[in-house]
Structure 1
Amino acid sequence: MSHIEHRLGVSEVNLVTRHLGLLRPIDSTKLNAAIEEIDQLYGLDKVTFDEKSDRLDFSYDASRLCIDCVEEILTKHDIQPRQGLWTHFKEEYYRFVDQNVKDNARHEPWSCHRTTSHTRK
C-alpha cells in the first residue's frame, strides 16, 4: 500500500476529484491566472488543465472547499464552464456530495453503547 502525500489542509478521507469542462475560446493568460489563484486555496490538493479536452481537473478536501469556490474564481477571470444538461447535472451532483462530506465531517457520531460519565453503585 503506497502512502500519498497531500497538501496541508487536505484529509484523504474527504478528498474529492472534479472535472470541469470549459467553454472555448479560452484566453491562456486569464486561465493561467485563474489556475494560479485556485492553486492557492487552502484545502486544494492539485489542479491541472487538459488542453486536449479543455477540461480543468482538480482535487480538494470537500470539508474545506466546494465546487462553487473554484467556479467563483473562474468567473472572476471571465472563464465559463461548458453549458448543457450533462454539465449542469455534474455540477449539482458535485454540490450535493460536497455538502454531504462537509456535513459528515462536522457530525459527532452517536452510540447507545457509550460509557456514561457517572458510574452506578
Structure 2
Amino acid sequence: MKNKEHRLGVSEVNLVTRHLGLLRPTEAKEVNSAIAEIDQLYGLDEVTFDEKSVRLDFSYDASRLCIDCVEEILAKHGIQPKHDWWTHFKEEYYRFVDQNVKDNARHEPWSCHRTPSHTRK
C-alpha cells in the first residue's frame, strides 16, 4: 500500500483514478483555466492534462465528488469529452462506481452476531 499524503478531504479508501479523453481543445488557455478550477474542488487529490494524448487524468475521493462534477466544469469552459463509444462506456462505468462508493461510505455496518445493545454492560 502506498504511503502517499493525500489532500484534505481525500480518504485513500474511497480514492479513485479517472482518465477522460477530450476533444482537441481550441486553446491551451481554456484547458489551463478548467484545470485550475477543477484543482480547487474539495475531495480532489490531483489533476493532470496530457497534451500528447489529449487526456485528462485525475484522482478524487468518490464519497465527496463524482465524474459529473468535473464534466460540469469542463463544459463551462467549452471542453467536451470524446464522443466515441469507449469514452461513453467508461463514463457510465465511472458513474456506477462513484455511486457505489458513495452508498457504501454512508452505509452503517450490521451484524447478526452482535449482542443486543440492551444486554451490554
Normalised TM-score (structure 1): 0.95
Q: Which residue identity lines up with residue 85 of structure 1 in the other structure?
A: W
Q: Which residue identity lines up with residue 53 of structure 2 in the other structure?
A: S
Q: 1:114 offset after TM fit, Å? A: 1.5
Poorly superposed stretches of 4+, deviation over 6 Å: none
- For residues 22-61 of structure 1, the aligned pairs below 5 Å read 22-61=22-61
Q: 1:3 offset after TM fit, Å? A: 1.2
Between the aligned partners of 2:13 and 2:41, the Cα distance in structure 1 is 18
Residue in structure 1 matched with residue 85 of structure 2 by the alignment: 85
Contact 2:15 2:60 in 1 (8 A): yes
Between the aligned partners of 2:98 and 2:25, the Cα distance in structure 1 is 29
Percent identity reads 83
Between the aligned partners of 1:78 and 1:86, the Cα distance in structure 2 is 21
Encode CA deviations 1:77-112: one digit per residue, 9 max, x unaligned.
Answer: 000111110010000000000000000000001101
Between the aligned partners of 1:27 and 1:14, the Cα distance in structure 2 is 33
Q: 1:119 offset after TM fit, Å? A: 2.0
Structure 1 residues 11 and 78: CA distance shift in structure 2, 3 A: same
Residue in structure 2 matched with residue 102 of structure 1 by the alignment: 102
Q: Which residue identity lines up with residue 84 of structure 1 in the other structure?
A: D
Q: Does 2:3 align with 1:17?
A: no
Residue in structure 2 matched with residue 112 of structure 1 by the alignment: 112
Contact 2:47 2:56 in 1 (8 A): yes
Q: 1:73 offset after TM fit, Å? A: 0.1
Kindly report the root-mean-square deviation, in angstroms, between the aligned alpha carbons of the 2 structures. 1.3
Contact 2:25 2:31 in 1 (8 A): no
Question: Where does structure 1 lack aligned partners over 5 or more consecutive residues?
Answer: none
Q: 1:2 offset after TM fit, Å? A: 4.6
Secondary structure of the residue aligned to 2:19 is strand
Q: Which residue identity lines up with residue 101 of structure 1 in the other structure?
A: V
